[in-house]
């Protein structure tokens, strides 16, 4: 098999949140796409590995994938060792992707940044002729890093406005994770909550390029542009970023003082979009350990 795009992820349901819209869009453009999950999420509170893999195959149909595989490496204990690198390199030789999408190299979950490191090194190893005399060497031409789990300016954003709903359908195929149930309910939001959260993130990145929904990517190399007259995305960028707070729309005081529209009517919903999860410091000086940074867009 020779894929045009292969996304390598730590867990089933990662790509559905990070780059699934881009995979759908590439498939709709006629490219052969695939996803290789390294683990089956066997340390997850909900669902068995077998259920997670079955759900990922159902999600793969929504993503219009030509290939979906799972290497059954240990979840939450992912290691970048020689056995893992050789296993992944062999799979890359088999699938021969031109473009590989990896998670960004920093992140909250160790499996995510380890997947990035492991994926990068396996792509390199895969191109070495003497690695294995029985398979053809193959080194992907391009590696992209999906930036959704981090809070850095992307190298570029893909417009997924037309693919967003299909990506949601793919994610909701993981009924063990996003269906109703008590186990781990603090960790596993219900459908409406996850829909709003993902829409807010996609809306933020879409706004960076003037479209409804977007997915962010980072590349290590400079991007070549042949025609500067045809460059898309109007200057200057339209957003102003303000740190607000917490899991909900949180600190009303900060919200009101930062946004003139909400100071007149604090209970009305201002145009705010989530940027990232993680440790943030709110302008009200509260230090949050599980905060959310929002952006306010002027009307």
Q: Distance between CA 215 and CA 156 in Å, rounded?
A: 9
Element (H, E) at 227: none
Q: How far is the CB of 213 from Zn ion (least distance, A)?
A: 21
> Exactly one of 3, 6, 7, 11 binds Zn ion (CB under 5 A); which one?
11
Compare residues 24 and 148 and give the one whose CB is closer to Zn ion.
148
Residue (of 20, 4, 115, 15) closest to 66 by Cα position: 4
Q: Does 37 bind Zn ion (CB under 5 A)?
A: no
Compare residues 14 and 159 and give the one whose CB is closer to Zn ion.
14
Q: How far is the CB of 11 from Zn ion (least distance, A)?
A: 4
Compare residues 108 and 253 and give the one whose CB is closer to Zn ion.
108
Segment contacting Zn ion (CB under 5 A): 8-16, 28-36, 58-66, 286-294? 8-16
> Exactly one of 14, 16, 37, 51 binds Zn ion (CB under 5 A); which one?
14
Compare residues 107 and 270 and give the one whose CB is closer to Zn ion.
107
How many residues of this chain bind Zn ion (CB under 5 A)?
3
Segment contacting Zn ion (CB under 5 A): 10-18, 130-138, 225-233, 285-293? 10-18
Q: Distance between CA 237 and CA 234 in Å, rounded?
A: 7
Q: How far is the CB of 71 from Zn ion (least distance, A)?
A: 14
Q: Distance between CA 243 and CA 241 in Å, rounded?
A: 7
Q: Distance between CA 250 and CA 150 in Å, rounded?
A: 21
Q: How far is the CB of 165 from Zn ion (least distance, A)?
A: 22
Compare residues 14 and 51 and give the one whose CB is closer to Zn ion.
14
Sign of CA dihedral 266, 269, 271, 272: positive
Residue (of 29, 30, 31) closest to 7 by Cα position: 31
Q: How far is the CB of 212 from Zn ion (least distance, A)?
A: 25
Q: Does 114 bind Zn ion (CB under 5 A)?
A: no
How far separated are the first and last CA of the chain, in Å rounded?
49
Q: Distance between CA 256 and CA 198 in Å, rounded?
A: 25
Compare residues 6 and 9 and give the one whose CB is closer to Zn ion.
9
Q: Does 75 bind Zn ion (CB under 5 A)?
A: no
Q: What is the DSSP letter of 187?
A: T
Cβ neighbour number for residue 181 with a 10 Å cutoff: 15
For 94, the token pair is 């088999």
Interacting residues toward Zn ion by CB under 5 A: 10-11, 14
């Amino acid at each position: 098999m020779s894929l045009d795009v292969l996304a390598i992820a730590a867990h089933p349901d990662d790509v559905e949140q990070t780059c699934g819209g881009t995979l759908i869009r590439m498939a709709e453009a006629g490219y052969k796409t695939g996803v290789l999950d390294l683990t089956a999420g066997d340390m997850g509170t909900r669902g068995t590995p077998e259920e997670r893999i079955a759900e990922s195959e159902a999600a793969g149909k929504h993503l219009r994938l030509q290939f979906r595989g799972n290497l059954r490496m240990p979840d939450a204990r992912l290691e970048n060792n020689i056995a893992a690198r050789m296993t992944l390199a062999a799979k890359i030789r088999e699938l021969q992707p031109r473009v590989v999408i990896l998670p960004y190299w920093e992140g909250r979950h160790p499996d995510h940044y380890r997947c990035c490191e492991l994926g990068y090194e396996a792509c390199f190893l895969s191109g070495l002729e003497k690695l294995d005399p029985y398979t053809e060497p193959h080194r992907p031409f391009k590696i992209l890093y999906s930036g959704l789990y981090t809070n850095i300016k992307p190298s570029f954003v893909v417009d997924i406005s037309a693919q967003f709903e299909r990506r949601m359908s793919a994610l909701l195929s993981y009924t063990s994770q996003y269906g109703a149930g008590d186990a781990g309910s603090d960790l596993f939001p219900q459908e409406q909550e996850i829909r709003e959260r993902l829409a807010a993130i996609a809306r933020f990145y879409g706004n960076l390029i003037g479209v409804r929904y977007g997915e962010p990517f980072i590349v290590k190399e400079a991007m070549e542009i042949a025609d500067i007259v045809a460059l898309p995305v109007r200057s200057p960028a339209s957003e102003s970023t303000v740190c607000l707070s917490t899991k909900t729309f949180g600190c009303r005081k900060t919200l009101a003082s930062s946004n003139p529209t909400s100071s007149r009517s604090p209970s009305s919903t201002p145009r705010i979009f989530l940027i990232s999860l993680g440790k943030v410091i709110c302008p009200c000086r509260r230090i949050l350990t599980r905060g959310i940074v929002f952006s306010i867009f002027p009307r």
